[in-house]
Amino acid sequence: MAEILMNTKDLSIHFGAHKAVDGVSINIEKGLFTTVLGPNGAGKTTIFNLISGLYKPTRGKVLFRGEDITKLSPIERINLGLARSFQLTNVFPTLTAYENIRLAVQAHSKIGCKLFMNFNRYIKINDKSKKILEEVLLYDKKDFIVATLSHGEQRKLELGMVLALEPEILLLDEPTAGMAIEEVPTMLDILKNTKEKGTTILLIEHKMDMVKQLSDKLIVIVNGKLLAQGDREEVANNPEVMKAYLGGGMTDGTPS
Amino acid sequence: MTGLFYNLIEMIIKRRKVYKNLSISIGGLIFFTTLLLFVTILPHVSGFSTKVLYSRIFILAVYGMSYDILRGYTGFINLGHAIFFGSGAYIVGIFLTHFGNNLTVLALAILTVLIYSSLAALIMGKIVFKGGGVIAAAMVTMALGEIVRNVAERWREVTMGADGLPFRVPDMFRDRIMIYYYAFLFLIIMTLALRQFILSPTGRVLLAIRENEQRAIFLGFDTKKYKMIALQVAGLSAGLAGAMFALLNRFANTDLLTVQQTLNALLMTLVGGTGTLYGAIVGSAFISLTQDTLLDLRAVHPIFDRWLLFFGSIYVLVVLFMPSGFVGLYNSKMAKLQVRLVQRKK
Ligand SMILES: Nc1ncnc2c1ncn2[C@@H]1O[C@H](COP(=O)(O)OP(=O)(O)O)[C@@H](O)[C@H]1O
Ligand SMILES: [Mg+2]
């Protein structure tokens, strides 16, 4: 078994009486592509919010490289190498595509609160921003105001922004959600390239066939609880998972 | 053959582009030269009130820009911004009244304005940036403004309370032409400094915060720190503007600390264009000149005794028909022009 980069222990959060996430212990192995599956409302996004520090858990821990990071702020977690995207596209809408990426690169460059030089005179930041725009296939749209880009382009842009942070682990919340069908393959290509570069990826999806080919590991969440985790085939063929899946629990998908 | 043809076309396009750029920059040059000439000649050919009017426009423009740094760039609604402006004016007045009317005291007063503004921004930021959202921040800053205004009103031995504080200024600020030039110089320097600030990497982060603070945080920006820097810059600028305003008027009163005074800054940025920096300069000119014209019209017809009504209507019309303000409108027109040029090239 590969080295465990990140894991949770008994992770739980309750909103009033509602146990949105309940006793979830998962292991994410370094360099692998892990997909979190589960129907809408299962608690997948909430797990991301707990891992990235947006929410504090009611109970349980988040560990990164074996260290307890449950008490760290989101910014401290990003500095450790956790970056995330959001289910609802989360970008800077009235800035250009280039400026969105450039800001992410600037954040990662750790130049601090510089006041006395023009922002576009940081050559290294500019070059890297352009490279990332090429990576997410948006270079020809670099001067477009983001709000005028298509939904799919905005998703790719957000992916570019998190890639700019050069994370150890990339948390992606349904990166293809709402995308036009013809845009999905390019997104999957970008994900594949990112994986091949050695980045650990944890991705949320509610349609199993969407990313099955890319996944090394699967985690299945139902009603806030962990149903199964492990190698792709093993989990996909798990009778309980099949039951939850075919029983209508998993919408919009059929096992392949 | 086709290659040659292509080259020819490309050459023509390039020529055209050079020409276009040149024509724009020539236009800009003419505009700025005319403006500079106008500004330089004006005080020598105009009366007392015009000189004061324009001096006021210059100084209030800086105050407006300082507000734009917060509202336009950071997305923070500060209803206590007059604290900086009014206190800057009071500090200058108090120093010159109580410690002697000379340049050394004035220099100390300016230094005090800077320290005071910085501390006030620090305290305000510590309270407001704890979280709680835009509305809470607006309410808290308004309350802070009221507190400071109350202190100025009650501390009669020093501020002369509601009567206001008249004072003498050092000789070099007595000449109306000179203070006009100082005010203009002040505007130029502050515009360049604030422009540099918004074009710095730090300034860019403010835009990110305005657009989407959560995303900025999840890129790893410590947004509280950046907001604090913005508040410091805005507070210092507004404090200095207040100090200049006091030197111009030789008078400070509690009006300078009211919510109304904060709203004046908001008005300037709205009319001129939020988040454009220069908008505040246009806004300041527009508001002061409109106000002045309406007041003059009172001599023409008694209906203009209700000048505030007209002023309000003009303001509403401008905001209704130019929601992005003068400079905002200009910027979007220019952007559209650029798009058209690019399309034509294709
Ligand atoms: N901040 C919150 N307050 C109250 N309930 C929440 C909150 N966040 C998530 N939930 C609830 O937790 C459950 C899981 O939501 P979510 O994690 O978004 O599901 P998924 O991403 O798997 O579709 C939902 O029932 C949702 O209403
Ligand atoms: Mg979700």
State pLDDT tens for residues B69-110.
999 999 899 999 999 999 999 999 999 999 999 999 999 999
Tell me, in angstroms, the distance from the centre of ligand 2 to residue A41's CA.
7
Whether the CB-CB separation of B246 and B186 falls below 8 Å is answered with no
| Model confidence pLDDT, tens digit, residues A145-161 | 999 999 999 999 999 99
Contact yes or no for B211 and A104 at CB 8 A: no
Output the residue whose Cα is nearest ligand 1's atom 14: A43
| Res. A251 pLDDT band, cuts 50 70 90 | very low
Output the residue whose Cα is nearest ligand 1's atom 16: A43
Closest CB from B199, B225, B226 relative to A119: B199
Q: What pLDDT does residue B197 have?
A: 95
Please give the ipTM for the structure prediction: 0.90
Q: Which residues contact A247 (CB under 8 A, 6 or more apart)?
A: none
Classify burial at B134, counting beta carbons within 10 Å of its beta carbon; exposed 0-12, middle 13-18, buried 19 or more: exposed
Residue B45 main-chain phi, psi, to 5 deg:
-115, 5
| Res. B68 pLDDT band, cuts 50 70 90 | very high
pTM for the model stands at: 0.88
- Rounded Cα–Cα distance for residues B110 and B96 (Å): 11
- Rounded Cα–Cα distance for residues B80 and A213 (Å): 57
| Fold designation for B52-345 | ABC transporter involved in vitamin B12 uptake, BtuC (1.10.3470)
According to DSSP, the residues that pair with A219 across neighbouring strands are: A36, A229
> Distance of CA A58 to CAs A15, A49, B131, Å?
9, 13, 21
Written as six digits, the tokens of A244 are: 């939850």
Restricting to A residues 114-133, those with a Cβ less than 8 Å away from any Cβ of B are: 114-119, 122
| Model confidence pLDDT, tens digit, residues B178-225 | 999 999 999 999 999 999 999 999 999 999 999 999 999 999 999 999
- Rounded Cα–Cα distance for residues B25 and B201 (Å): 27
Contact yes or no for A119 and B225 at CB 8 A: no
Q: Which atom of ligand 1 is nearest to the CA of A44?
A: 22
Q: Which atom of ligand 1 is nearest to the CA of A87?
A: 21
Q: Does B8 or A25 have the greater pLDDT score?
A: A25
Kindly tell me if the per-residue pLDDT of A172 is higher than 60. yes
| Helices A151-164 + A97-109 axis angle, to 10 | 20
Kindly tell me if the per-residue pLDDT of B14 is higher than 50. yes
| Listed ranges A67-76, A212-221, B36-45; the one with the highest mean pLDDT | A67-76
Written as six digits, the tokens of B111 are: 């230094």
**CB pairs < 8 Å spanning A and B:** 79
Q: What pLDDT does residue B162 have?
A: 82
Question: Ligand 1 within 6 A of A46 CB?
Answer: yes
Question: Ligand 1 within 6 A of A42 CB?
Answer: yes
Domains of chain B by residue range: 52-345
Contact yes or no for B201 and A111 at CB 8 A: yes
Contact yes or no for A92 and B229 at CB 8 A: no
- Rounded Cα–Cα distance for residues B245 and B333 (Å): 34
Mean pLDDT of A176-182: 87
Whether the CB-CB separation of B179 and B248 falls below 8 Å is answered with yes
Question: Ligand 1 within 6 A of A12 CB?
Answer: no
| Res. B9 pLDDT band, cuts 50 70 90 | low
| Model confidence pLDDT, tens digit, residues B269-282 | 999 999 999 999 99
Kindly tell me if the per-residue pLDDT of A81 is higher than 80. yes
Comparing CA positions, the residue from A244, A179, A232 lying closest to residue A33 is A232
Tell me, in angstroms, the distance from the centre of ligand 2 to residue A69's CA.
23
- Rounded Cα–Cα distance for residues A165 and B58 (Å): 43
